[in-house]
């Protein structure tokens, strides 16, 4: 005997567990720089059509208005990032940067590929080059002279230094940022890095503050956009869904046992 209710409820439990896992990831990254909260996107599984709407009934010759379409459950369609900007936190580091609105910093990855991040917690390596905390170079490469006594990054990404013994400031580089048509199509590489994919589209690179590009805020870092209260509310909802689907399986099992005893 087909146990459709059990299969449907099992799909609901699997789906609820995926939601709980996603919420756990969000809460775990509450304090991760520039982290974007994730949500699960659900869809129904294909319906089983026993009587198609609009067909002519064989016994009456009348048009069937609704038909018989039996649901078979739910499936996880996608896990999407909510791309709203997190709040900015001012820091004391001249090399901390945040992007206000659209854009990603370009980074030379471990295999010399270009990867992308909104985590602007930069530092200098032994050569004075601006790098991430993992030591990956910012693209384009910008080297801060050893005798620099002050570093300014303006909103359009110009890096300007004041050199020891020199009155006039010197522009030593221009940070360029990248945007994508479909940011949710980026591959999540971990450590706050992303890689382009056919789904994301090719990067569009330009100057911060120009049309379609966000502005750079020096001595700021973008916070995670996770809201604890919202996540806990979603967690309770997912837990209830899991429990209710579990009860359906138990009820179906009892019904099948009762039916078996009648035979």
The whole domain housing 42 covers 4-83+226-262
**54 — alpha (psi -120 to 50), left (phi > 0) or beta?**
left
Residues 177-186: pLDDT tens digits?
999 999 999 9
What does the pLDDT read at residue 1?
41
What does the pLDDT read at residue 263?
64
Shared-domain flag, residues 158 and 213: yes
Shared-domain flag, residues 92 and 46: no
Shared-domain flag, residues 258 and 204: no
Shared-domain flag, residues 20 and 113: no
Neighbouring residues of 29: CB distance < 8 A, sequence distance ≥ 6: 35, 224, 226
Shared-domain flag, residues 193 and 92: yes
Shared-domain flag, residues 137 and 207: yes
Shared-domain flag, residues 202 and 217: yes
Paired tokens of 143: 């080297």
What does the pLDDT read at residue 2?
57
Residues of the chain with pLDDT under 50: 1
What does the pLDDT read at residue 93?
98
Please state the pTM of the whole predicted model.
Answer: 0.89
Shared-domain flag, residues 105 and 218: yes
Which among 56, 43, 36, 52 has a CA at the least distance from the CA of 194?
36
What does the pLDDT read at residue 252?
83
Neighbouring residues of 105: CB distance < 8 A, sequence distance ≥ 6: 97, 99, 116, 117, 118, 119, 120, 138, 175, 177, 178
Number of domains composing the chain: 2
**What's the rounded Cα separation, in Å, for the pair 54 and 63?**
6
**What's the rounded Cα separation, in Å, for the pair 263 and 259?**
7
Shared-domain flag, residues 118 and 244: no
User: Would strands 48-51 and 68-70 be described as parallel, antiparallel, or unpaired?
Assistant: antiparallel
What does the pLDDT read at residue 86?
98
Shared-domain flag, residues 201 and 232: no
CA neighbours closer than 13 Å in the CB half-sphere of residue 237: 10
Shared-domain flag, residues 135 and 211: yes
Shared-domain flag, residues 154 and 241: no
What are the C-alpha distances in Å from 17 to residues 41, 186, 218?
13, 24, 40
User: Would strands 204-207 and 104-108 be described as parallel, antiparallel, or unpaired?
Assistant: unpaired
What does the pLDDT read at residue 66?
85
- What length is written for the chain? 263
């Amino acid at each position: 005997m087909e146990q459709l209710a059990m299969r449907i409820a099992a799909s609901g439990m699997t789906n609820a567990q995926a939601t709980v896992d996603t919420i756990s990831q969000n809460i775990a990254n509450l304090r991760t720089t520039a982290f974007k909260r994730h949500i699960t996107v659900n869809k129904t599984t294909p319906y089983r059509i026993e009587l198609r709407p609009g067909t002519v009934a064989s016994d009456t010759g009348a048009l069937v208005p609704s038909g018989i379409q039996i649901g078979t459950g739910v499936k996880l369609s996608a896990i999407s990032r909510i791309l709203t900007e997190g709040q900015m936190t001012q820091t004391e580091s001249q090399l901390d940067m945040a992007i206000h609105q659209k854009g990603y910093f370009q980074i030379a990855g471990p295999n010399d590929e270009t990867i992308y991040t909104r985590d602007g917690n930069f530092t200098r390596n032994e050569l004075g080059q601006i790098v991430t905390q993992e030591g990956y170079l910012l693209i384009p490469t910008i080297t801060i002279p050893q005798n620099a006594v002050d570093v300014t990054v303006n909103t359009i990404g110009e890096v300007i230094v004041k050199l020891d013994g020199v009155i006039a400031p010197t522009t030593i580089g221009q940070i360029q940022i990248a945007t994508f048509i479909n940011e949710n199509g980026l591959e999540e590489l971990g450590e706050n890095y992303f890689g382009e994919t056919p789904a994301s589209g090719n990067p569009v690179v330009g100057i911060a503050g120009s049309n379609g590009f966000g502005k750079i805020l020096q001595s700021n870092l973008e916070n995670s956009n996770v809201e604890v209260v919202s996540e806990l509310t979603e967690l309770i909802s997912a837990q209830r869904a899991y429990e209710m689907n579990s009860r359906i399986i138990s009820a179906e099992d009892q019904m099948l046992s009762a039916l078996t005893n009648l035979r």
